[in-house]
Structure 1
Amino acid sequence: MKKVIEKKVYNTETATLIAEYWNGLGEDDFMYCEEYLYRTRKGSYFLRGSGGPLTKYSESNENQTWGISTIIPISKEEAYEWLEANDKTEAIEEYFSNDIDEA
């Protein structure tokens, strides 16, 4: 998937996949959600997300709501928070080793 946002190209085929999340539901479920965290060659982070009509990955008009797939640019701090929230310890250690300390 490729999308231009604020004059920057975000491309899942050329970026590095860092981690992924899936809530375990099938694509036909209204609460289905999956997210993939990527890092571009220039160091920007983004999520490629997909979801059903009852998730943040949805669009609607006056009569209907449907699921979508999209790309969302995020900051380095948001990428770290996403990894921590989704228990992606190995990815944190690999991509944010300079930002964490031993307890």
Structure 2
Amino acid sequence: MKKIINGKKYDTDMTEEVGYDNNGLLYSDFCYIEETLYKKKTGEFFLCGKGGAMTKYAERQLNGFSGPGKAIVPLTEDEAKKWAEDHLTVEEYEGIFGEVEE
């Protein structure tokens, strides 16, 4: 997926995937969400998310109803760390951001 946001290009094919999570529901479920955390060569982070009709990724359809959708969401490093804390294992987190003190 490619998108230009605030004059910056985000391309999932040209960046490193560093984290992934989904909520375990079937793709056909209205509440299904999957998110992939990417890190650009510049060090910037972004999420590429997909979700059902009842999620933050829902898109308005031509018939006026909501349907599944997808989006790219730029993140600050602090936002990426918070997402990783909430969605990844300790090992995955430290693989991205380095070892954390006890």
TM-score by length of 2: 0.90
Match of 1:88 in 2: 89
For 1:20-99, list aligned pairs within 5 A.
Answer: 20-60=20-60, 63-97=64-98
Q: Is the 8 A contact 2:21 2:35 kept in 1?
A: yes
1:22, distance to aligned residue in structure 2 (A): 1.0
CA offset digits 1:8-47 (Å, max 9, x no partner): 1101111110010011112111011100000001111000
Q: Is the 8 A contact 1:19 1:88 kept in 2?
A: no
Within 1, Cα distance between the matches of 2:70 and 2:12?
12
Percent identity over the alignment is 36
1:88, distance to aligned residue in structure 2 (A): 2.7
* Between 84-93 and 17-26, the greater mean CA deviation after superposition: 84-93
Q: Is the 8 A contact 2:57 2:69 kept in 1?
A: yes
TM-score by length of 1: 0.89
Partner SS state of residue 24, structure 1: coil
Q: How many residues align?
A: 101
- Structure 2's unaligned 5+ residue stretches are none
- Structure 1's unaligned 5+ residue stretches are none
